């Protein structure tokens, strides 16, 4: 098996035996996350006193002193994460330090999590089988004003890249700088629109100058921090532009020239690693073109000298307000990955592996939600999404078993096994000249992929003289061309059932600062709220009056979602009489608006319009004399995809007029309008601790609901590490802040009642309209609040509510996996980790290690406290609905309990020997288990609560 370059840790001196124990303790805690092999250490005294022990200690110090420094806050300067290595490529794969590599990449966008979350996300990605971390670079986050850069906090790109390197992972940096990514304005800063003469993403000198300046800034920063592979850093791959091929034709000749320029510009920066362009068939010869799609097994690059690479494998899909929630079955996702490598692929990146959260106003548009969970293998809160995470981990292990054959072969041998069944076989061949494969070489290295692309029927095929049964729409992986190590349709990873609630009763002594109210089993965040009203009209000295309707973004510069337009309309007595006599009312007609328009007459809300450039026809009622007509234009994420983004804009387009007056229509397009950017509470920072001049008054039930109102309260959260969410399902639409941190927009817009399937069938090609969920419910009600933004008590929550909601019903929830289930049969493949650790290809492994196993694990801080179901025999049903079948081993519960209770992880072999009997001879038996995970903290709090009642 090829090995990646190992981290290069500098030698450091160790002064005392205490430091030795400290290092060994660190290794024990971090062993599973180390990017290199560490032998088992069971007795530090023996190690210290044994012959040659001091040499081992010196080795341990040299290897892990930096890990101790990280854990205990000791500052250590480290120039290199790896021994410097070069990255090139041939037609087959990336060549890293002279070795072909077949790589699994995990997409994680650093601003969609907090720096405190990054280490765990990266560690979980590595544990799941990733070799590489991938991310876009977000221009508007890094340069919010031209020439003013931000590389701190959630935008500390250098820190994020270094964390990946410290875990022994490579990095794929997609500079773009256009990202799309369902990110506000596709990642472009809005100030870019104001550059004179600029046209985005075409052969336009002003745009090319700005683009080159930012891309150079990022490349130079990475070089200064020594983060490229040839410097001992993790960056092995860069991307310029992004999915430009989708819109290139819109720009004609200018588009083709722009692609050539972008490639030349990128290469001129001398980054020293390969560059890619995704979805770009006319990529120049020295840039690798790559695939973005649900399936890329049929993709071929535009040159026989380039490897086949998949930069975006869509693990799910994004969601818009009022939409259903997409889910991509893991069986299909695994099938797509296996088919890609089966048919010659070499690099695959999950988009997303962790989706995260669109904090603040970073969500793209139009109308994309705050959550960017994306049905990814790691959920929005940082917990594994099981069984997706575990099934893909098994897939990755099976693929790694095939890597010796994959790197040794220039192309697979194709064998047709049936009308919709086929095999691709990889065997060792003559090494390309100059390529150092450095295998523990043995003649006959062979791996095979057997695919059944029939969407309905299971197939039985013969391969190399043996018979194999392959479920529909699946791939079986045979690392040795004989034994099936994995099938994409057979999910043997555990299922974790996520709960969002308190794990303990909300009694007063647990949350003393704010006594939580309990009504109908709802845990409310607080009963003590303050409120203040948002003025409906112009209120600031920064307002201005001009003739005509100005485009929304030209005024706001995207510093706020909100832009107020206000004018005065004179209504004569003759107009009133005219309407009365004709039994009619005047109407406001606007050519088109986006995303939201709210219409006020004399301070009263009389209409709302939501849409993407939709026409407005609104009936009005005026009083005699002067009337204030106020329009509130709102953006809900700027357009992030498509050609000519600089022209897209927001707010009001076309004519705006009043109809139905006695003397004819009134053209308001040329009237005097007064403009006001933002809400008063935004500008005066009602959400900050320091602001006490907002006119707060106590909220009374009589004041609920209320439009355009600010609310605030203080709340506590339980101790522990469980992720925290706010349930804002009782509110309407607005924004929320916790301790001054903007957690995002909220909106209880409801999805259509139809279009969801009760049973999701993984078979057949996936699209974003397949396997939809959450019909007839609000698209999003739970909003992630990172633990690092919270204090133990007295956390300030501020809500800006637009349409009317009930803040008294807001609740805080803990997000955790309390129930875990697994189901494995005797006929399933053996545990892949044991195959991976053994010399499976050359020598095989013992029969005992070929026995299938059930594996269960709880999240960090939890242990298995009870087994709620276990049956070895013919159990029926699925997680949370298991039942015994006609065949059942009486010792099932006791044997599983013995193996698992009190542990975070456990495994049970699926065999008669373990359960002391064969409950039904000549029948393939299955072990189904359901267990409950609890944390010591929740148990302690529960006992404390009970004792106080």
**Residues labelled catalytic:** 243, 312
DSSP 8-class letter at 195: S
Q: Tell me how far apart the alpha carbons of residues 48 and 57 are, in angstroms, rounded to a whole number.
A: 7
Convert 763-772 to b/e letters by CB count within 10 Å (16 or more is b). beebebebbb
Cβ contact 654:591 at 8 Å: yes
The secondary structure element, H or E, covering residue 579 is helix 573-581
Q: Tell me how far apart the alpha carbons of residues 790 and 525 are, in angstroms, rounded to a whole number.
A: 14
466 phi, psi to nearest 5 deg? -115, 155
Q: Tell me how far apart the alpha carbons of residues 685 and 532 are, in angstroms, rounded to a whole number.
A: 13
Closest to 290 (Cα-Cα) out of 306, 274, 279:
279
Give the angle 261-266-270 at the CA atoms, nearest 5°. Answer: 135
Euclidean distance between the first and the last CA atom of the chain, given in angstroms as a whole number: 61
Beta bridge partners of 652: 593
Sign of CA dihedral 827, 833, 838, 840: positive
Radius of gyration from C-alpha coordinates of the chain = 31
Please state, as a whole number, how many other Cβ atoms lie within 10 Å of the Cβ of residue 225: 16
**Tokens (6 digits) for 327:** 């889910």
SS3 for 315-345, per residue?
Answer: CCCCCECCCCECCCCHHHHHHHHHHHHHCCC
SS3 of residue 914 by DSSP: helix
SS3 of residue 64 by DSSP: helix
Helix boundaries (H) for 189-329: 205-224, 252-268
Cβ contact 105:132 at 8 Å: yes
| 530-533 sheet: strands from edge to edge | 697-698, 530-533, 709-715, 795-801, 733-738, 741-747
Q: Tell me how far apart the alpha carbons of residues 124 and 122 are, in angstroms, rounded to a whole number.
A: 5
Q: Tell me how far apart the alpha carbons of residues 386 and 380 are, in angstroms, rounded to a whole number.
A: 13
CA distances from residue 747 to 14, 744, 773, 783 in whole angstroms, order as listed: 56, 10, 18, 11
SS3 for 539-551, per residue?
Answer: CCCCCEEEECCCC
Q: Are strands 651-659 and 275-278 parallel, antiparallel or unpaired?
A: unpaired
Strands of 142-281, DSSP E: 170-176, 235-240, 275-278
115: Cβ contacts below 8 Å, ≥ 6 apart: 153, 154, 156, 159, 160, 788
Closest to 342 (Cα-Cα) out of 423, 458, 460, 445:
423
DSSP 8-class letter at 75: -
SS3 of residue 811 by DSSP: strand
**Number of H-type helices and E-type strands within the chain:** 17, 42
Q: Tell me how far apart the alpha carbons of residues 586 and 422 are, in angstroms, rounded to a whole number.
A: 69
**Tokens (6 digits) for 503:** 């794990």
């Amino acid at each position: 098996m090829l090995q990646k370059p190992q981290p290069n840790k500098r030698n450091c001196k160790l002064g005392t035996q205490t430091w030795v124990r400290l290092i060994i303790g660190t290794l024990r805690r971090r062993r599973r996350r180390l990017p290199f092999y560490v032998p088992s250490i069971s007795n530090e005294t023996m190690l210290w006193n044994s012959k040659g022990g001091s040499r081992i200690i010196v080795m341990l110090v040299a290897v892990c002193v930096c890990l101790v420094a990280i854990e205990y806050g000791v500052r250590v300067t480290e120039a290199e994460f790896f021994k410097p290595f070069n990255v090139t490529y041939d037609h087959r794969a990336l060549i890293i330090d002279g070795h072909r590599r077949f790589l699994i990449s995990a997409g994680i966008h650093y601003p969609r999590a907090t720096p405190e979350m990054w280490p765990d996300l990266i560690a979980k990605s590595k544990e799941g089988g990733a070799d590489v971390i991938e991310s876009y670079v977000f221009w508007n986050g890094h340069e919010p004003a031209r020439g003013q850069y931000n590389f701190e906090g959630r935008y500390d790109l250098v820190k994020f890249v270094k964390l990946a390197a410290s875990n022994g992972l490579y990095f794929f940096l997609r500079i773009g700088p256009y990202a799309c990514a369902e990110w506000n304005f596709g990642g472009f800063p809005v100030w870019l629109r104001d550059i004179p003469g600029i046209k985005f993403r075409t052969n336009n000198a002003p745009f090319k100058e700005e683009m080159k300046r930012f891309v150079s800034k990022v490349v130079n920063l990475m070089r200064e921090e020594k983060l490229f592979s040839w410097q001992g850093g993790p960056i092995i791959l860069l991307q310029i532009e992004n999915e430009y091929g989708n819109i290139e034709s819109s720009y004609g000749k200018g588009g083709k020239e722009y692609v050539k320029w972008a490639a030349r510009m990128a290469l001129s920066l001398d980054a020293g690693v390969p560059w890619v362009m995704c979805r770009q068939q006319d990529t120049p010869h020295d840039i690798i073109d790559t695939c973005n799609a649900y399936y890329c097994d049929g993709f071929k690059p535009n040159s026989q000298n380039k490897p086949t690479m998949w930069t975006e494998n869509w693990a799910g899909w994004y969601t818009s307000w009022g939409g259903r929630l997409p889910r991509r079955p893991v069986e299909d996702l695994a099938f797509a990955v296996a088919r890609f490598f089966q048919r010659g692929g070499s690099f695959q990146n999950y988009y997303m592996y962790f989706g995260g959260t669109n904090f603040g106003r970073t969500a793209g548009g139009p109308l994309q939600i705050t959550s960017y969970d994306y049905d990814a293998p790691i959920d929005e809160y940082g917990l594994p999404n099981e069984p997706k995470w575990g099934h893909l981990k098994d897939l990755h292990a099976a693929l790694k078993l095939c890597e010796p054959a994959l790197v040794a072969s220039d192309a697979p041998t194709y064998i047709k096994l049936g009308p919709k069944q086929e095999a691709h076989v990889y065997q060792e061949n003559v090494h390309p000249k100059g390529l150092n494969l450095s295998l523990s070489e043995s003649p006959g290295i062979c791996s095979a992929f057997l695919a059944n692309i029939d969407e309905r029927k299971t197939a039985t095929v013969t391969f190399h003289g043996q018979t194999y049964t392959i479920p529909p729409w699946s791939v079986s992986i045979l690392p040795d061309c004989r034994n099936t190590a994995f099938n994409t349709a057979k999910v043997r990873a555990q299922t974790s059932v996520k709960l969002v609630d308190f794990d303990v009763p909300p009694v007063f002594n647990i949350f003393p600062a704010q006594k939580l109210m309990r009504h109908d089993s709802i845990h409310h965040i607080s009963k003590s709220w303050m409120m203040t009203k948002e003025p409906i009209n112009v209120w600031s000295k920064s307002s201005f009056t001009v003739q005509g309707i100005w485009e929304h973004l030209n005024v706001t510069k995207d510093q706020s979602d909100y832009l107020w337009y206000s004018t005065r309309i004179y209504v004569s007595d003759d107009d009133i009489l005219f309407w009365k006599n004709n039994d009619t009312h005047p109407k406001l007609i606007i050519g088109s608006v986006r995303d939201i328009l709210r219409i006020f007459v004399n301070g009263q809300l009389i209409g709302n319009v939501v849409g993407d450039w939709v026409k407005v026809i609104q009936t009005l009622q005026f009083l005699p004399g002067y009337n204030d007509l106020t329009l509130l234009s709102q953006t809900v994420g700027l357009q992030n995809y498509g050609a000519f983004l600089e022209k897209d804009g927001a707010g009001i387009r076309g004519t705006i007029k009043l109809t139905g007056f006695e003397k004819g229509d009134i053209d308001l397009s040329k009237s005097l309008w007064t403009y006001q950017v933002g809400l008063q509470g935004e500008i005066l920072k009602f959400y900050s601790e320091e602001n006490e001049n907002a006119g707060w008054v106590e909220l009374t039930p009589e004041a609920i609901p209320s439009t355009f109102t600010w609310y605030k309260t203080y709340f506590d959260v339980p101790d522990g590490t469980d992720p925290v969410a706010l349930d804002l399902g009782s509110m309407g639409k607005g924004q929320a802040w916790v301790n001054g941190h903007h957690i995002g927009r909220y909106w209880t817009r409801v999805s259509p009642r139809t279009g969801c399937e009760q049973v999701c069938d993984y078979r057949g090609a996936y699209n974003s309209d397949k396997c939809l969920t959450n019909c007839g419910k609000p698209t999003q009600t739970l909003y992630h609040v990172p633990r690092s933004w919270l204090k133990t008590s007295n956390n300030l929550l501020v809500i800006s509510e637009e349409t009317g909601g009930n803040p008294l019903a807001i609740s805080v929830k803990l997000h955790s996996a309390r129930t875990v289930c697994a189901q494995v049969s005797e006929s399933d493949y053996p545990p892949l980790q044991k195959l991976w650790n053994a010399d499976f290809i050359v020598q095989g492994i013992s029969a005992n290690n070929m026995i299938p196993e059930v594996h269960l694990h709880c999240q960090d801080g939890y242990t298995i406290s009870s087994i709620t179901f276990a049956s070895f025999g013919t159990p029926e049903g699925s997680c949370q609905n298991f039942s015994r079948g006609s065949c059942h081993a009486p010792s099932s519960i006791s044997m599983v309990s013995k193996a698992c209770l009190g542990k975070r992880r456990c495994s049970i072999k699926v065999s008669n020997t373990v359960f002391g009997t064969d409950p039904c001879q000549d029948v393939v038996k299955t072990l189904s288990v359901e267990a409950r995970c609890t944390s010591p903290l929740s148990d302690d709090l529960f006992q404390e609560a009970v004792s106080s009642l």
